[in-house]
Amino acid sequence: MDLGIKGRKAIVCASSKGLGRGCAIKLAEAGVDLTLNARSEGPLEETAGYIRDTFGVNVQIVAADITTEEGRNAVLAACPEPDILVNNAGGPPPGVWSDWGQDEWQAAIQSNMLTPILLTTAVLPGMIARKWGRIVNITSGSVKSPIPQLGLSNAARAGLTGFIAGTARQVAKDGVVINNLLPGQHDTDRINALMGNRAKAENISMDEARNRAQASLPTGKFGDPINFGATCAFMCSEYASFMIGQNLLLDGGAFNSTMG
Ligand code: NAP
């Protein structure tokens, strides 16, 4: 399917690995030129090289911490007029309510709420002026159904979701489409880090922790970051123009509900 976005320009944040990488690959397959970002240059260059060689699109990289003002400015300087923005960053550490004080809260809010809000507000004027834009925020299934040990994530991402809900409706007339994509458990480094914690807590092997987590899903297995990326690419496509302010859950059916 031709997504109608060949030649468009996208910023994909936190995209050397995992879900961000999946989104970058599927946008490149649709013919989109990319600005990729992550903190470590090595994996970023590796992903950029793979995408250039495979899809022949233009790919530039910006090695920077997207949760800092300096990092965001560097990414925006490299791609000042993006048509597409995929907001993403690392997730906060697990714990319990009593672990988290002012510093931990500020870091989580900075990473998973303020950073995507500030990038969105930075690119919106240009998208509105050009009458076309697509923004996808990678949030989490925890927005719909809390993951108790990820309280920092549950809360910060809910704040972002509230901002997007109103803003997406304010800019829809200008051709700007903003939505959130909510991952459940996908097979990435992040899930392996969480499985490592589970293995320790339950005194089981890493394989056993992964097996137990996968067995609890209706699909019986974790999600594939490339399939996640394909959904993201559709949400950035010409055909997503009537999808406004939605929260699309990709969790293998883990959220048990008849509707919504
Ligand atoms: P991942 O496999 O660990 O990949 C994270 C990517 O983000 C890497 O490219 C990493 O590169 C980059 N990154 C991390 N912090 C960054 C920062 N401050 N600035 C720039 N780049 C940064 O993680 P993932 O599984 O793709 O998860 C992506 C997001 O989805 C996270 O917020 C995670 O909490 C959320 N999520 C994931 C799952 C899941 O099952 N995988 C489920 C729900 C929610 P560098 O380390 O080099 O910066």
User: How close is the Cα of 172 to the center of ligand 1, in Å?
Assistant: 28
**Distance in Å, CA 131 to ligand 1 centroid:** 30
Q: Are residues 207 and 121 in the same domain?
A: no
| Residue with CA at minimum distance from ligand 1 atom 37 | 183
Token look-up 């500020």 returns: 106
Q: Are residues 73 and 164 in the same domain?
A: yes
User: Could you tell me if 82 and 167 lie in one domain?
Assistant: yes
- Residue 2 C-beta-side C-alpha neighbours within 13 Å: 3
Phi and psi for 82 in degrees, rounded to 5? Answer: -70, 145
Atom of ligand 1 nearest to the CA of 193: 3
Nearest residue (by CA) to ligand 1, atom 3, is 190
19 Cα–ligand 1 center, Å: 7
Residue 3 belongs to a domain? no
CATH number for the domain that contains residue 83: 3.40.50.720
pTM of the model as a whole:
0.98
Instruction: Look at residue 97 in the predicted model and tell me its pLDDT.
Output: 96
Measured from CB, residues less than 6 Å from any atom of ligand 1 are: 14-20, 37-40, 43, 65-67, 88-91, 138, 140-141, 183, 185-186, 188-191
Please list the pLDDT of the chain residue by residue as tens digits (260 residues). 999 999 999 999 999 999 999 999 999 999 999 999 999 999 999 999 999 999 999 999 999 999 999 999 999 999 999 999 999 999 999 999 999 999 999 999 999 999 999 999 999 999 999 999 999 999 999 999 999 999 999 999 999 999 999 999 999 999 999 999 999 999 999 999 999 999 999 999 999 999 999 999 999 999 999 999 999 999 999 999 999 999 999 999 999 999 87
Could you tell me the residue range of the domain that residue 111 belongs to? 9-184+228-250
Beta bridge partners of 178: 135
